[in-house]
């Protein structure tokens, strides 16, 4: 039995990159990190894209990448940027690409994972308390987009990477 494409969504720090690497090891499917691909294509970091071109331009790049993956017949595991599902068009494109898994983590878990991360433009310059408040607000704003765009919701709080990957594979095989 084969697994189709696996699309991982969720807020930054929810575990998308870590889980996608584990899935890549377990399945042999190729993993693509959309943020890394956009940085490669643009020749600059996400932080620089946000600073120089704005968030809307970055979101346009995400949509174009999804269209490109559909056109090229992408096969594998897609680790998406945290804001990718916010656009309805992106949710539609992701669902056409494969099974969408929302990796859901509490604001506290996310904050603890990101407290020392300086590469996240949406949290730049915030104290730990400020980051937690911003994460809570962003999760609330994005909740409907994350949940409506997902075929499966996987809670990642306190769960090891291997168990998360196993749960995803069980669901993917049952599709």
Contact between residue 37 and residue 84 where contact means Cβ atoms under 8 Å apart: no
Number of residues that this document lists for the chain: 175
Domain boundaries, the chain: 6-174
Tell me how far apart the alpha carbons of residues 108 and 114 are, in angstroms, rounded to a whole number.
10
Q: Which segments within the chain are labelled E, that is strand?
A: 6-9, 31-33, 77-79, 99-104, 152-155
Residue 12's nearest CA partner among 148, 124, 149, 105 is 105
Reported as a single tens digit per residue, the pLDDT across 105-122 is 999 999 988 877 666 766
Decide if domain 6-174 falls under CATH 3.30.1370.10.
no
State the pLDDT at residue 1: 38
- Dig out the tokens for 86 from the structure: 């916010």
Reported as a single tens digit per residue, the pLDDT across 4-16 is 899 999 998 899 9
Contact between residue 101 and residue 8 where contact means Cβ atoms under 8 Å apart: yes
Reported as a single tens digit per residue, the pLDDT across 23-45 is 999 999 999 999 999 999 999 99
Residue 169 has pLDDT above 70, yes or no: yes
Reported as a single tens digit per residue, the pLDDT across 62-97 is 999 999 999 999 999 999 999 999 999 999 999 999
């Amino acid at each position: 039995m084969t697994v189709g494409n696996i699309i991982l969504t969720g807020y930054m720090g929810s575990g998308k990159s870590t889980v996608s690497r584990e899935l890549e090891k377990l399945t042999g499917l190729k993993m693509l990190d959309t943020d890394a691909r956009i940085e490669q294509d643009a020749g600059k970091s996400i932080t620089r894209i946000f600073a120089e071109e704005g968030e809307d331009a970055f979101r346009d790049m995400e949509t174009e990448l999804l269209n490109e993956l559909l056109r090229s017949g992408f096969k594998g595991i897609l680790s998406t940027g945290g804001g990718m599902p916010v656009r309805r068009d992106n949710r539609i494109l992701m669902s056409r690409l494969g099974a969408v898994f929302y990796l859901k983590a509490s604001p506290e878990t996310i904050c603890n994972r990101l407290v020392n991360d300086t590469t996240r433009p949406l949290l730049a310059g915030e104290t730990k308390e400020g980051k937690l408040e911003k994460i809570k607000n962003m999760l609330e704003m994005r909740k409907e987009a994350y949940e409506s765009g997902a075929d499966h919701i996987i809670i990642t709080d306190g769960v090891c990477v291997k168990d998360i990957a196993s749960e995803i594979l069980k669901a993917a095989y049952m599709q």
